[in-house]
Chain A
Amino acid sequence: GESVGLHLPTLSVQEGDNSIINCAYSNSASDYFIWYKQESGKGPQFIIDIRSNMDKRQGQRVTVLLNKTVKHLSLQIAATQPGDSAVYFCAEKWGAGNMLTFGGGTRLMVKP
């Protein structure tokens, strides 16, 4: 079976409920943040991003909130569906020439 994320923190939600996945980032100079979704056996997939001059950005069923004061990023998924079950990673970046740094990930499990 899939061994990636075997020891990740896990969030278990009921289908139809809203999910909130949290991420604490490390660098106060980071100016760009991304949430990725990784399904079992697949590579990470871009979900939504946000720049540091914003505190909220909405996509389709997803919202990212950025709190620069406490260096905290969250991903909210509305009306969670079984297809949302995956590992979710946040990533931060500072400066155009620098690389993304990924967080450890959270496993989301959706109960039918």
Chain B
Amino acid sequence: DADVTQTPRNRITKTGKRIMLECSQTKGHDRMYWYRQDPGLGLQLIYYSFDVKDINKGEISDGYSVSRQAQAKFSLSLESAIPNQTALYFCATSDIAGGQETQYFGPGTRLLVL
């Protein structure tokens, strides 16, 4: 979905390096999420934010940090990358309408940690 963009789309880094993945959205949604996807597994929630001043840990937050710089921007950082953080990373946004919440995903960032 072009309304949710992620940069970079692909990244190769070395163990111990700090890297940042960026997410921007033009949908005007308050809620933003970072997920990780590994082969054969579904999406695992890393962190989420319900508004600019709200940051919450998901199920696999260890080794990651986030920053919600503005409503439209939510960045994910790996302070010291390790090989088992090699995965696909997806950002998502959501809005609640009529009691239903639908998440809209970005195109993903493929990260390889050597």
Contact = CB atoms under 8 A, between A and B. Distances in A.
Interface of A: 3-8, 32, 34, 36, 41-46, 49, 51, 89, 91, 93, 96, 99-100, 102-105
Contacts of B88: 4
Contacts, number: 64
Interface string B39-71: 111111100100000000010000000000000
Most buried by A among B48, B107, B108: B108
Main secondary structure of the interface of B (DSSP, over half): strand
Contacts of A42: 107-108
Interface of A (DSSP majority class): loop
Interface string B99-113: 111111111100000
A34 B94 CA distance: 13
Nearest to B48: A99
A36 B92 CA distance: 13
A14 B99 CA distance: 38
The 7 closest A-B pairs by CB, nearest first: A43-B105, A102-B42, A7-B40, A102-B43, A6-B39, A44-B105, A104-B42
Given A42-B107, A43-B92, A46-B103, 13 more contacts: A6-B40, A32-B101, A43-B1, A44-B90, A45-B105, A46-B102, A46-B104, A49-B102, A51-B99, A91-B42, A96-B101, A104-B40, A104-B41
The listed residue with most A CB atoms (<10 A of its CB), out of B4, B40, B106, is B40
A104 to B, nearest CB: 5
A96 B100 CA distance: 9
A26 to B, nearest CB: 12
